[in-house]
Amino acid sequence: MFFSEKTGMKATQQLKDEHEGIRVMLGILEKVSNRFETTGTVEKEHFDRIIEFLTIFVDKCHNAKEEELLFPAMLAASTQAKAPVEALLDEHKAGRGYIGEMCRAYTSYLEGNGPLSGNIAENARGYISLLREHIGKENDVLLEVADKLLSAEKQDELNGGFEKIEEVRIGRGKHEEFHGLLKELSGIYS
């Protein structure tokens, strides 16, 4: 599960668990943007928290663990990691692009510019399909390769670094708050 007990767990397993949480949020975002298309409205409180999850948890925390710690460790272990890592970095960048556009359209919607806000759903859809494919690649290829390349000591070292990123980027207790959010919104948008 998303927040399984981290003690004794491989760093790569922690990333896989986070991918499951992200997949749940992608399903919620899909439902929210479908509703937006049919009704022309979005629940502000929900959408604000979805954006917070995507920008803080996914980008500032999860992607940072990969970009700042996992990818460099893999590159140091094998030159063969270079091409897949570069491709995945490009996808992180593309994801940021969709979220940036989606937020701009959302601001425009909040300012009352209804017709311009169609971009919310369009960018949400682009992000969802990009991320679903991206997570598939990371789980099935990258993290499998990482398990072969990285020693148990290195995995432990990564775990320590992941913990620091969490503390500094999102703060204590926030992880649990995001877990609660997934549960709450899954119940609403089922």
Contact residues toward Fe ion (CB under 5 A) are 138
Q: Which residues contact 34 (CB under 8 A, 6 or more apart)?
A: 121
Shortest distance in whole angstroms from residue 130 CB to Fe ion: 12
In the complex, least distance from residue 142 CB atom to Fe ion, rounded to whole angstroms:
8
CB nearer Fe ion, residue 138 or residue 166: 138
Q: Torsion-angle region of residue 113: left (phi > 0), alpha (psi -120 to 50) or beta?
A: beta
Nearer to Fe ion, 14 or 117 (CB): 14
Q: How far is CA 116 from the centre of its chain?
A: 26
Residue of this chain nearest to Fe ion (CB atom): 138
DSSP code per residue over 127-153 = HHHHHHHHHHHIIIIIHHHHHHHS-HH
Check: CB of residue 67 under 8 Å from CB of residue 92.
Answer: yes
Is 77 or 89 the residue whose CB approaches Fe ion more closely?
89
Please identify, using beta-carbon distances, which residue of 20 and 122 lies nearer to Fe ion.
20
Q: In the complex, what is the shortest distance from the CB of residue 11 to Fe ion, in angstroms, rounded to a whole number?
A: 12
Q: Please report how close the Cβ of residue 133 comes to Fe ion at its closest, in angstroms.
A: 12
